[in-house]
Amino acid sequence: MFVRTERLTLRPAWAEDAPQLAAAIGHEAVVRNLARAPWPYPIEAAQTFAESFTDPGEAKFLVFEHVGAGTRLIGGMGVGAFREEPHELGYWITPDAWGRGYATEAAGAVLRAARAAGVRRVTAGHFVDNPASGRVLRKLGFRPTGRIVPLYSRGRAAEAPTARHALDLAEGENSAGMDPDARMAA
């Protein structure tokens, strides 16, 4: 599945994406805010991650910024099973693309894809020392659950407190800050 917004294209990872993926995610500032990514982030981790995009119906994507006639890999985004949650939103954006609204735009597109696949409730979390991620979730319509839980981060090699959020996708067509004009292509 491919998803296109005004400024972004979201698509599955391909094996040839591994070098660009390793460069985009391979910043300590990114990896420390993820649960499963190792630090340092070697090319082998990027290759393994690219190989994990096997289900064509899964709402899991690399995020590419439109640049001139081409694209540039700037992040990863998806909704999938994580720990005890069947539909957890996870995402990252490379540092030189921060502050441009790409995380909100891409997540809105992913949430539309999840809704189209029949998902009705999505959860998410962010490390409490990463308030920017919490702002993205609130812009998307996620509501804090009031729970702060410890979560192990491979990048930190330690547990850190994580604020939990939830979103009901069945609340309406324009919920979750999801732009109804973005196009999805199978």
Bridge partners (DSSP) of residue 62 are: 11, 76
Residue 164 lies in a domain: yes
In the chain, how many domains are there?
1
Per the prediction, the chain carries an average pLDDT of 91
* pLDDT tens-digit readout, 72-119: 999 999 999 888 889 999 999 999 999 999 999 999 999 998 999 899
Residue 185 lies in a domain: no
Residue 133 lies in a domain: yes
pLDDT at position 180: 42
Instruction: Domain of residue 32: give its range.
Output: 2-178
> How far is 137 from 165, CA to CA, in rounded Å?
8
* pLDDT tens-digit readout, 28-65: 999 999 999 999 999 999 999 999 998 876 789 999 99
Q: What φ, ψ does residue 101 adopt, rounded to 5°?
A: 85, 10
Residue 183 lies in a domain: no
Q: Report the CATH number that the domain containing residue 14 is assigned in CATH.
A: 3.40.630.30
Is omega for the bond preceding 40 within 30 degrees of 0, making it cis? yes
Record the pTM.
0.90
Residue 17 lies in a domain: yes
Give the containing element (helix H, strand E) for 63: strand 60-67
